[in-house]
Each structure stands twice: as C-alpha cells, then as structure tokens.
A and B are shown apart, each in its own frame.
Chain A
Amino acid sequence: MSKSERVIEREEVVIRFSGDSGDGMQLTGTLFSNTSALFGNDLSTFPDYPAEIRAPQGTVGGVSGFQVHVGHSEVYTPGDYADVLVAMNPAAVKANAKFIREGGTIIIDEDNFTEKNIKKAGYENDPVKEDKLDRYNLISAPITTMVKETLKDHGLDPKTVIRTKNMFALGMVYWLFGRDLEYTEKYLKSKFSKRPQIIEANSTVLRAGYHYAETIEAMTPIYKVSPASIEKGLYRTIDGNTATSWGFLAAAEKAGLGLFIGSYPITPATGILEALAARKDLGVKSFQAEDEIAGICSAIGASFAGNLAVTSTSGPGLALKSEAIGLAVMTELPLVIVEVQRGGPSTGLPTKTEQADLLQSLYGRNGECPVVVIAASTPSNCFKYAFEAARIALEHMVPVILLSDGFLANGSEPWRIPSMDSLPEIKPPLVREGDDEFIAYERDPKTLSRKWAIPGTRGREHRIGGLEKTVKGTVSYIPENHEHMVKMRAEKVARVVTKVPHLETYGDYEGDMLLIGWGGTYGHLLTAVRELRKEGKRISLAHFNYINPLPANTAEVFSGFKKLVVAELNAGQFVKYLRMELEDFKFKQINKIQGLPFTCAEIKEQCIKLLEE
C-alpha cells in the first residue's frame, strides 16, 4: 500500500503523551502543541501530572500525561479520548487505556515492557491481553535500544542518552502527523545554547525517531489535520496562568499604576507568581512571601500605598487568606485575589482540577463580607477576566476574587493577540493633594466607592483599619452606623452589576433545556451542546463568568427554558447559589468530583437523560 492511500484526513485529532514523571512528557506535549499552532491548527491542551515530582518510577501513580487536541476547525476542549497515545512504559498504558479511542494508535517503548515493569504497573498478565490492546493499532518500537544505538558515538553518559528518549517518540509523532521539525530544533538550540553536545544529541534522536516512523510506515496510517481557518490576526499559544498574569500587567498599564504581587508558591497557582516575577522589565514588584497570609497582607499594604495589588493562590491558601480579605472589604481597598482551584478539601488533589472553592470564595469569611467573584472560562480569556477583575477592583474600591482552575491554569490554546488600544480605560478614584477636608469613607453617589488617598499625598492623611467606622473614619460602635455600613458595602458590590455584560446563550433563548455552567468547564459544555443541537435537541448553553453580582438579565434568560440544568465539577455549589439568588426556578444538576474535567460524552449522555425525564 502506498503512503498516500494510508493518509487519514481528519477534522481533529487528540494525542496523549504519557510516561514516568521524569520522562519529559510535559515538554514533549508542549513542543508538539506549539509546532501544531505554528502549522495553523486550532488546539487545546491538558497537562495531567502527579503531585509528586518523582513518584515511584514505573507505577501508575507516577504517570505524567499531556493531552493535546488539534483541529482543522475550532477546538474547545482537549478531547475526551486520545486517537494517539504515546506510552513510554507499561504504567502509562495502564493509566490511559480507558482514554483511548477505539481503533486508535498506541506507540510504546517495547524496551520498557519487561516483566518487572509490567508487574510494577499493576498488570497480572500481558498488558496486550489484559487491556485488549489488540483493539488498537499498536506500534511497538524498541525506543531505548534505538536511542542508545543512535548516540553510541556521541560520548555521552548513559543517563543523558536515555533522557533523549522523549525526542525519539516526538520525532515519530511528527512523522505521523506530517509536521516539520524546525520549531523543535530551534527550541533545543535556544534551550541548550551553552551545551552544543546536548543540542546535537537531542536533534539527532528527534530525526532518528522521525525516520524510524517513516521506515515502518506500513504499520500505521498518517493523520492529516489541515490548518484551521481562524480569524485574521497575530496569534500565540498561551496557558491560563500566563494569560492571567499578563491581564494584570495590561490593567496596571491602563491604570497608570505600579503592579505588585504578593504570593506564596502553591500548585496550581504558582505559575502566576513566576510569570510576574519575570517581568522586572515592566517594573513588576513581585514579593514571595513567607506564607499565604503575608502574601495577601503585603498586597493589601501595596494597595494602601497606591499599587494595583494582586495575590494568587489555590484552595487551602484562600482559606488562610480569608481574614485578610475581610480587612480589604472593611478598609475598602482595591485588591485582586486569584484563586486557581484544585481538588479539595485540605490538601486534596493538588495537581487535579475541580470547581469546589466557589462557596468559599463567595462566603468563606467572618461577618457580612461580600466580594466580587468572577471566573475565567478558557485558558486565553484568563487575560480578559484578570483585566476585568483589576478594573472592577480599582474603579469600585473592592476586593475581587478571580476564579481559575487547574485545567485552565495549565491548559493552553492559540490566542489572537489583542492590541492595548482595544482595552477599556481604567480610572481609579485617586485623590490629589489638597487642604480641604478628606473624608475617608465618603462615597461616590453612583458606584458607592470611596476615594483612594495614598500615603505621600499632602493633606490627605487619614486612618483606616479593620474596626467599624463612621463615614469620617472614626471608630464607631453605634448600632445603626454598623448596619448602615454593612449595607453600603454590600450595595457597593451589587452595583458592580453595571460592569457585568448581559448573559448570552449559545443557541436560542428558548427551548427544552438550558445547560448552565461557569468557569473552566466552558469548552466541554459548549462542545456537548453544539453536538446535541446538531442532533436536533432544543438545548442551549448559558455560561457564567460573573458570579457575584450575577448578570442583570439572568432570570429573564432562565425563564425561556423548560428545564434548567447546572453542570459543575463539584457536588453542586453554583446550583446552591442560584437556588438562593433565584428562588423562583427549579434546577437539575450534573456533577463530577473526580479531579478531572468533564468529557463531552458524559455531558451529552446526562443531558439526554434529563431531557427524557
């Protein structure tokens, strides 16, 4: 059979790279994604890795995976099932067998399928039999042997040689998808610019893998995924944490303020602190605090001093910050708290995604303590919502919690680069120097925000603090004053609704069912609803980015549908909130609490079931 006959033209393909957590699978996946993005595909990625940096080798617990979905048309999710699985050892097969599409391709390093490794992975028998791998197109390649052979004259130590295995696998995959090696070779050159030997070794192995796949051509089909026709413009790939960080930089520039981030490293939010620490060229003041509390408190101090102040964290860290969030609410200072959710409670599943910190964000503080809560819904729109979170915080003098999650934080996709001119202005209510009386808690009649008088401004000296105060800033225990101030602070948050765009649906404004989601599940819910609509179902999607306050037309949108179904990756938190806020409606739920994103298939299946009820 000639090569051309074996080319499979596909709209989209999902590839999963999988191996031990030291096998370099995250890098391999990233390089493939970037190469595909440059080729012009739309894509979505999902890194899935263990919490342990080097979990026991060869065990299922230590498997690190990177899934990428590339498409000729728009791609919204990393895909439910892999068309191609690269498995560097038996554990990688064991961990991923259930995520491979029937008839898909599995590439394994057969050198690693020793009896010992097979046992370690938890197989009793031959994995081919146990997991019925003969259902797939199994490419069993002696990768380790070939890598050793390829580099035998390079004078490298055995450890370094073995480490290039991932490049061999990547080379094979590039051939399989007809991609060129240029991007990867460029990457290797800049990454190891001071170690030419390493560049040479990796490039040689990469090419060896490519040629090997070509040689064994007869065994496998080639996938062809043509470039996507996407909106004109300049693009880059971006992950959620980077997009979040850059959104804050954009907001600081628009507002003409310095940017301060005070944070403590915590998975999966650390990337934000890292990305901003790298931006000294843009004047970012990044402060790695001694703990979560110091992270937010330093940010509150920086906000008092007139910076756009940000702190980033994940679930347990948000719990530690809760008292300080109350202080920011009470002192009415602008502040953005980024909460990159992960599986909880307690330490929970640090590297897995979940949406279970919504109620903590809304209510997890002492006293009457409302804050604005907004949620990003794709890796790239983390930029937009970080910008909006900062804009709301600065213009309304409120703390804002920006929700992201592990799936958005580490996932990446192509992003059409916006121009700074296209972003709205940000005008914080800063007070200039002067001798007229400054009233610390005097409110703007429209937004109810107080003015921001920063230390160093002559004539504007004043005192703020966590104690209840009168409008003038005098400590007060007067009962009526407390009730008044509590209501003012709540009303101030409620009035942020003027900045909240109306809720739109994907689909129609009436029908049998409205699927309701929020945050990082957008891609999966959208894909499921799109497919259901193609199948003739009268279903639409309403996806929320603004949680508190809710869009003003929420009830109106809900009232157009016979059934309302809230899908979320928790035991039902947004649905509880909606039941409180919109008590006239009845809601059904779809919930998943496995530390994993939804699959489109399970959403569809449950929607159909609920439609038939």
Chain B
Amino acid sequence: MTEEIVDYNPNDFRSDQEVRWCPGCGDHAILAAVTRALAELKIPKEKFAFISGIGCSSRFPYYLSTFGFHSIHGRASAIATGVKVANPDLNVWQITGDGDAMAIGGNHFIHAIRRNIDINIILFNNEIYGLTKGQYSPTSMRGAVTKTSPYGTIEEPFSPGELVIGAKGKFFARTIDSNVQLSTEVYKQAALHDGTSVVEVLQNCVIFNDGVHKQLSDRETREDNTIILINGEPMIFGKNRDKGLKLDGLKLKVVKLGNGISEKDILVHDCEENNPGIHTMLANMRYPGYPVALGVIRCVSAPTYDMAVKGQITKVQKDRKIKNVNDLLRSGSTWESK
C-alpha cells in the first residue's frame, strides 16, 4: 500500500479549542514544536492518535486536530498500547507528565517500554504537580519544599532516562520546552523510531515551580550547562565549544579542550549502541557538575510488540485448520444425536 503524502503546515494540527494553559507555561512551546514535527512527518492526519492521562500536560490532545483521547490518571500507556495493538497502522502518541507517568502510572509506563510497543511518549517534566496546585512529584529534587513537603522532601527522585533504560528502553531523548527547534527534531526522531520512544521535555511550570530548569534555559548559561548530543559527533559543549566529555575509569568526566586534550580524546556519541552503560551515564548527568544531556541519547532498533502480535497471527494463520467460528465450534470431540 502506498502511503498518501500530504503537505501540512503546523496550524493544520491545531484544533478550534481555546488553549487554557497558564500564560508563560512551557506547554505552549511544546505544542508549537509538536505541531511542527507532525507537519514535517507528512503522515495523513487521520493516522495520528494522541492519548493522554491526567494533569496539565494531558490536556494536550484537546488542542490538536488529530484523533485524541484524554483518559484517566496514569493509564495512558495502557490505553495507547490497546490502540496500537488493535491498529498498528496508526501513529500513536502518549502525552504525560512526571506524576502521571512515574507515580500513579509507573507500572504501565515501565511495561509499555519493556514490551517495546511502537508508541511515542512525550513526558513533560516540571518536577511538580501543577494541576493540583503544587505538591512534589517523583522527580522533585530531594529537599524540594512544596505544599506537601513544607520541610523539604525526604525521598530520592527518579531519573526518567535511567528508569526508561532500566525498563529495557530502546529510545530515550531529552529536550527543553524553550528550544523549539531541537524539540521539533527530537519529536520527529521519536516518531520515526520503531518501538517505544520516550522524550523527556524539561518543562517550566510558571506558577508552582517557576525557574526549575532556569540554568538550562537561560541564554547566558544554557550552552555551558547543557550538551546537545548528535549521533557520530564528539561530545563537545560550552558557549565557546571548549568543553567535552571523556571517560575517566568508569565515570564520565568534563574536560577542557586544549593543554594536550584535543577533540580526538573526547567521546563520540553512539546512540545506537545496545549496551546501555554510557547512555545511562549520559541520561543521569545533572547540573551542576555536569552538563545536562539533550537530544537523542539512546536509539537502538529492536522488534516491536505490535508487529510481533501481527507476525504471530500471520504465522499461525498460514496453515490453520480452523478458519472461522463454525470450524472452531465443531473442532475436537463432538457427537451426533440422532
């Protein structure tokens, strides 16, 4: 079957619904980047299905003109799984947040990843519960003072990338809401990857956690505090592109170029390496001390669940004896009463 190639512009993917996120919320930029990515994918619009859970981010499907399903808290991975398995021809996206995906929906999230169902998960990470007005989330830093942790949290946060890779994830990327260009590219990469693609978007909640990613987004500091990973290229970063990453024993180390250290000493990014060691380390890099890794960190090809379901059915049906329900009802031990 030849796919219909369609020319869209990003606005074709906007619904007529009034966008109700707070002014200044990072979600607006994410919506802009996603619609740009969708337009550039040139897939017929009716093939897209956007599934979300509950939370500010989960209002997302209402603002798109695709098929959309705003479901219940934490369950979007499971619903998206059903959509994709039922119809593998669809391009299925899950929109979720740090609480939705990793607290109430943690079980579904890790199992969708483990099964490698071909869905694209955009995980908005603002390290706070916004819709319920400011309680800590599973990604809030230890000590974070919130409405439910007035003396600071006493729990260790998840690192989404580490969790994804630990759950046998094959695709993990990170971007930041303010960088629409990078985000657009990353969403496209996620869509093109066969299997579960998780994109963590560092998103700013302007009301309850404003500035949480400030060091990574401010014009003055962002180039020194983040590194955009590009497959096949050395891991060099910094305003003056004078810093790089190298391995020091079993750890990553930030080094300054010059003084005997040249580009060839710097690690070259290989997102297709199956061994998750370096990818985990890259995903876990935190400011301060390390630049936060952006771009596609891991992208390894592996069989997908939905195709395996289809493949198994095709294989079994090849030399089946039971071709319809009438055959089934009459199979095995039967007897005639005369």
Contact residues of A with B, CB < 8 Å? 34, 37-38, 40, 183, 230-237, 246, 249-250, 253, 258, 260, 262, 279-283, 285, 287, 289-291, 293-294, 297-307, 309, 323-324, 326-327, 331, 416-420, 433, 454-467, 474-475
Residues of A within 8 A of B68 (CB): 461-465
B221 at the interface (CB under 8 A from A): no
B75 touches A253 (CB 8 A): no
B3 partner residues in chain A, CB cutoff 8 A: none
- Interface centre among A279, A302, A465, by most B CB within 10 Å? A465
Check B89 against A456 for contact (C-beta < 8 Å). Answer: yes
What does the 1/0 interface line of B19-53 toward A look like (CB < 8 Å)?
00000000000000000000000001111110100
Partner of A301, one of B64, B79, B89: B79
Cβ-defined contact, B329 with A287, below 8 A: no
B85 engages A287 (CB within 8 Å): yes
In the bound assembly, the distance between CA atoms of A299 and B111 in angstroms comes to 16
Contact A305 B78 (CB under 8 A): no
CB contact under 8 A between A280 and B72, given known A287-B81, A297-B82: no
B residues in contact with A40, CB < 8 Å: 335, 337
**What residues of B have a CB within 8 angstroms of the CB of A464 in the complex?**
68-70
Residue of A whose beta carbon sits closest to that of B17: A474
Please report the C-alpha to C-alpha distance between residue A38 and residue B334 in the assembled complex, in whole angstroms.
8
Cβ-defined contact, A327 with B71, below 8 A: yes
Across the interface, do B67 and A462 meet the contact criterion of CB distance under 8 Å? Answer: yes
The answer to whether A309 touches B82 (Cβ under 8 A) is yes
Q: Identify which of A231, A262, A291, A474 contacts B107 (C-beta below 8 A).
A: A291
Contact A323 B86 (CB under 8 A): no
Q: Can you give 17 contacting A-B residue pairs, CB < 8 Å?
A: A37-B335, A232-B337, A262-B78, A283-B313, A285-B86, A290-B78, A290-B108, A297-B72, A307-B86, A307-B87, A309-B86, A324-B75, A420-B329, A461-B45, A461-B65, A461-B68, A466-B70
Which of B54, B70, B79 lies in contact with A297, CB distance below 8 A?
Answer: B79
Residues of A contacting B67 in the complex (Cβ-Cβ under 8 angstroms): 455, 460-463
Asked if A230 and B337 make an inter-chain contact with CB atoms under 8 angstroms apart, the answer reads yes
Asked whether B336 lies within 8 Å of A475 as measured between CB atoms, the reply is: no
Report yes or no: A465 in contact with B70, Cβ–Cβ below 8 A: yes
Q: Which of A281, A304, A419, A475 contacts B69 (CB 8 A)?
A: A304
B44 touches which one: A260, A324, A458 (CB < 8 A)? A458
Query: How far, in angstroms, from A143 to B83 measured CA to CA in the complex?
Result: 56
> Does B289 interact with chain A (Cβ within 8 Å)?
no
Q: Which residues of A contact B316 (CB under 8 A)?
A: 280-281
Knowing A280-B313, A297-B71, A456-B90, the reply to whether A417 touches B329 (Cβ < 8 A) is yes
Contact yes or no, B330 A417, CB < 8 A: yes
Q: Which of A249, A290, A293, A305 contacts B83 (CB 8 A)?
A: A305
User: Among the listed stretches B192-200, B257-265, B278-286, B319-327, which one makes contact with chain A, having 4 or more residues with CB under 8 Å of it?
Assistant: B319-327
Please tell me if the beta carbons of B325 and A246 are within 8 angstroms of each other in the complex. yes
Q: Are A260 and B75 in contact (CB under 8 A)?
A: no
Return the contact of A456 from the options B51, B78, B87 (Cβ within 8 A). Answer: B87
B297 close to A (CB within 8 Å): no
Indicate whether A234 sits within 8 Å of B82 (C-beta atoms), given known contacts A290-B111, A324-B75, A461-B66. no
Q: Is the CB–CB distance between B335 and A455 below 8 Å? A: no
Cβ-neighbour of A305 out of B75, B82, B107, B323 (below 8 A): B82
- Does B179 interact with chain A (Cβ within 8 Å)? no
Residue of B nearest to A186 (CB): B333
Question: Contact check: which of A249, A307, A331 meets B328 at CB < 8 Å?
Answer: A249
Across the interface, do A298 and B335 meet the contact criterion of CB distance under 8 Å?
no
- CB-based nearest A residue for B107: A290
Q: Which chain B residue has the least Cβ–Cβ distance from A300?
A: B79
Contacting A at CB under 8 A, from B159-177, are none
B191 → chain A closest CB, angstroms: 16
Q: Do A455 and B61 have beta carbons less than 8 Å apart?
A: no
| Chain B residue contacts of A467, Cβ below 8 A | 70
Residue B11 is within 8 A (CB to CB) of chain A in the complex: no
What's the Cα separation between A234 and B274 when bound, in Å? 56
Report whether B46 and A258 are in contact in the complex, using a CB–CB cutoff of 8 Å. Answer: no
> Which residues of B sit under 8 angstroms from A418, Cβ to Cβ?
329
CB distance from A107 to the nearest CB of B (A): 26
Contacts of B333 in A (CB 8 A): 34, 37-38, 183, 236-237
Flag whether B235 is at the interface (Cβ < 8 A). no
Interface size in chain B (residues, C-beta < 8 A):
60
Q: Counting CB contacts under 8 A, is B317 at the interface?
A: yes
Q: How many A-B residue pairs have CB under 8 A?
A: 207
Indicate the member of A34, A294, A460, A462 with the most B CB atoms within 10 Å. Answer: A294
Picked from B15, B46, B78, the residue with its CB within 8 Å of the CB of A460 is B46
Pick from B47, B111, B325, B328 the residue with the most CB of A within 10 Å: B325
A488 to B262, CA, bound (A): 72
B330 nearest in chain A by CB position: A417
Give Cα A260–Cα B78 distance, bound, in whole angstroms: 13
B136 CB-CB contact with A under 8 Å: no
Q: Is B80 an interface residue (CB 8 A)?
A: yes
CB <8 Å contact, B46 and A298: no
- A460-B46, A463-B70 known; A294-B335 Cβ under 8 A: no
Contact call B83/A294, Cβ cutoff below 8 A: no
Residues of A within 8 A of B334 (CB): 234-236, 417
B107–A260 contact, CB under 8 A? no
A419 touching B335, Cβ below 8 Å: no
Query: CB of B277 within 8 A of chain A?
Result: no
Chain B residue nearest in CB terms to A295:
B78
- A433 and B45 CA atoms in complex are apart in Å by 13
B312 close to A (CB within 8 Å): yes
B62 within 8 A of A: yes
User: In the complex, which residues of chain B have a beta carbon less than 8 angstroms from the beta carbon of A297?
Assistant: 71-72, 75, 78-79, 82, 108
User: In the complex, which residue of chain B has the Cβ closest to the Cβ of A284?
Assistant: B313
Interface centre among B17, B75, B309 (most CB of A within 10 A): B75
Q: Which of B296-318 contact A (CB under 8 A)?
A: 309, 312-313, 316-317
Query: Do residues A420 and B326 form an inter-chain contact, with CB atoms below 8 A?
Result: yes
Give A460 to B66 CA distance when docked, in angstroms. 9
- A455 B325 Cβ-Cβ under 8 A: no
Whether A301 lies near B86 (C-beta < 8 A) is: yes
Q: Kindly state whether residue B332 has any CB partner on chain A within 8 Å.
A: yes
Q: Is the CB of B69 within 8 A of A294?
A: no
Q: What distance in Å separates the Cβ of A285 from its nearest Cβ neighbour in chain B?
A: 6
Q: Which listed residue, A38, A281, A301, A454, touches B78 by the CB 8 Å rule?
A: A301
Q: Complex formed: what's the CA distance from A307 to B84 in Å?
A: 11
A301 touches B90 (CB 8 A): no
B338 proximal to A (CB < 8 A): yes
**Minimum Cβ distance to chain B for residue A279 (Å):** 7
Q: How far is the CA of A416 from the CA of B322 in the complex (A)?
A: 19
CB distance from B303 to the nearest CB of A (A): 16
Instruction: Output the least CB separation between B329 and chain A (Å).
Output: 5
- Nearest B residue to A418 via CB reads B329
| CB proximity of B39 to chain A, nearest CB, Å | 15
Hey, which chain B residues are within 8 Å of A294, CB to CB? 75, 77-78, 81, 107-108, 111
Q: Say whether B317 contacts A283, CB under 8 Å.
A: yes
Given A38-B333, A40-B337, output 11 extra A-B contacts at Cβ < 8 Å.
A246-B328, A260-B82, A297-B79, A298-B79, A301-B81, A302-B82, A326-B72, A417-B330, A460-B46, A466-B54, A467-B70
Given contacts A260-B85, A465-B70, contact A458 B79 (CB under 8 A): no
Across the interface, do A279 and B328 meet the contact criterion of CB distance under 8 Å? Answer: yes
CA distance A299 to B63 in the complex (A): 25
Q: 1/0 contact trace for B109-124 toward A, CB 8 Å?
A: 0010000000000000
Provide the residues of chain B in CB contact with A305, threshold 8 Å: 49, 82-84, 86-87, 90
Closest 9 pairs (CB-CB, A-B): A301-B82, A465-B70, A297-B78, A298-B82, A302-B86, A463-B68, A305-B86, A294-B78, A301-B79
How far is A462 from B68 in the complex, measured between Cα atoms in Å? 6
Taking CB as reference atom, which chain A residue is nearest B114?
A290
Asked if A235 contacts B86 (CB within 8 A), the reply is: no
Q: Which of chain B's residues has its CB closest to A38's CB? A: B335
